[in-house]
């Protein structure tokens, strides 16, 4: 187990620090969108950091929604599709308004 995962900081605090180190939420959004073309798994992490760093940022909301929807579309597992398409809606509804339901 990674020691930093034992009693970790909140995801919001981690995301805010990542955004600060990256130069802001807009930088994370740009990187997530770039990664979405080649590595959707990593793009999901970066998009989530952007969103969690500033939940009111419209670009971060849209990016997170787009990346999760793209991930749901390419996952072969129905369980993974449901996770990306539906469970995230309950956790982060303000970012996921307008996400299409599963295929």
Q: What does the pLDDT look like over 22-45, one tens digit per residue? A: 999 999 999 999 999 999 999 999
| Cα 41 to Cα 19, 33, 68, 74, distances in angstroms | 18, 12, 9, 11
The model carries a pTM of 0.79
Q: What is the DSSP letter of 38?
A: T
CA torsion, ordered 32, 62, 75, 80, to nearest 10 deg: 110
Mean pLDDT of the chain: 84
């Amino acid at each position: 187990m990674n020691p930093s995962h034992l009693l970790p900081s909140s995801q919001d605090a981690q995301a805010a620090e990542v955004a600060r180190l990256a130069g802001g939420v807009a930088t994370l959004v740009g990187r997530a969108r770039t990664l979405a073309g080649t590595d959707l798994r990593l793009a999901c992490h970066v998009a989530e950091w952007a969103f969690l760093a500033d939940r009111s940022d419209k670009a971060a909301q849209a990016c997170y929604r787009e990346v999760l929807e793209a991930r749901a579309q390419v996952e072969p597992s129905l369980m993974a599709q449901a996770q990306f398409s539906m469970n995230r809606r309950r956790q982060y509804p303000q970012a996921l308004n307008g996400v299409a339901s599963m295929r």
